[in-house]
Structures are given as structure tokens and as C-alpha cells.
């Protein structure tokens, strides 16, 4: 089992930037990829971005392509989500996750981190 601790987030104006972090511990070798999902009020949880621990493969939701960048520091078992040009519709609770390739299966979830973008 992988334990995930997310951090970052907060309140920002539209057009601003935030960075989320997700520190992994435990059986990190058991997961292939890590990334983030988000859930806005009244909506289902949706995929945002993921990266393989090797760093060789990144995937993004269409809604964030060109604005968000996912990276990882394998020496620290930590992933990062740099969010630029934020929009009010990016407002959600962001959950880091670890699991299979492209997070088709999620084995571990971190606690949610609130991101609020004001217009």
C-alpha cells in the first residue's frame, strides 16, 4: 500500500498559479504512476493528470492541457502539479492518486486539497 500526502492549493484569482505536491511513502514500487483527480461540488471526480514514476509518460485531461504541468522527483517520491492560467472552473478538491499506468486503476488516494479560483 502506498500512502499519499497532498499539499498546496488555496485561493487564487483567475489567471493565477498554484502548485500542488504529493509525497508518497510505503510500497511506492507497487505503483506505476501517480497523479491527480479533482471533484467540484455536485460533480463526479474526474481525471486531471498523471505521470509514470519513471517520468517517461505524462497524460493530461483536455481541459488542462497547456496550462497544467505534472512532474515528479523520484528521489523524493514526490509528484508536483504546476497549475497556471487558472480558471474559475478549475475550482475543486484535488486528490492525488497512485496506481497503474495512466491511473486506469487507482490503488491509493491522498487526502483532498481545496483549490479555489475566484473570477
What span, in angstroms and rounded, lies between the C-alpha atoms of 14 and 10? Answer: 13
Residues belonging to the chain: 119
Q: Residue 28: is its pLDDT beyond 80?
A: no
* CA 93 to each of CA 30, 74, 82, 103: distance values in angstroms, whole numbers, following the listed order: 26, 25, 15, 18
Predicted confidence (pLDDT) per residue in 82-116, tens digit = 999 999 999 999 999 999 999 999 999 999 999 99
Which of 85, 53, 93, 46 has the alpha carbon at shortest distance from 69? 85
The helix/strand/coil state of 47 is: strand
Average pLDDT, the chain: 94
Q: Residue 27: is its pLDDT beyond 80?
A: no
Residues in contact with 51: Cβ distance below 8 Å, sequence separation at least 6, in sequence order: 33, 34, 35, 57, 58, 59, 70, 71, 72, 79
What does the pLDDT read at residue 54?
85
Amino acid at each position: 500500500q502506498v500512502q499519499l500526502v497532498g499539499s498546496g492549493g488555496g485561493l487564487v484569482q483567475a489567471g493565477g498559479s498554484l502548485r500542488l505536491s504529493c509525497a508518497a511513502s510505503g510500497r511506492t514500487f507497487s505503483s506505476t504512476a501517480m497523479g491527480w483527480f479533482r471533484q467540484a461540488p455536485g460533480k463526479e471526480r474526474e481525471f486531471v493528470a498523471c505521470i509514470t514514476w519513471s517520468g517517461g509518460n505524462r497524460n493530461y485531461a483536455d481541459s488542462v492541457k497547456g496550462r497544467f504541468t505534472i512532474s515528479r522527483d523520484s528521489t523524493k517520491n514526490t509528484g508536483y502539479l504546476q497549475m497556471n492560467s487558472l480558471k474559475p472552473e478549475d475550482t475543486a478538491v484535488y486528490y492525488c492518486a497512485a496506481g497503474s499506468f495512466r491511473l486506469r486503476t487507482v490503488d491509493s488516494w491522498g487526502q483532498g486539497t481545496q483549490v479555489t479560483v475566484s473570477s
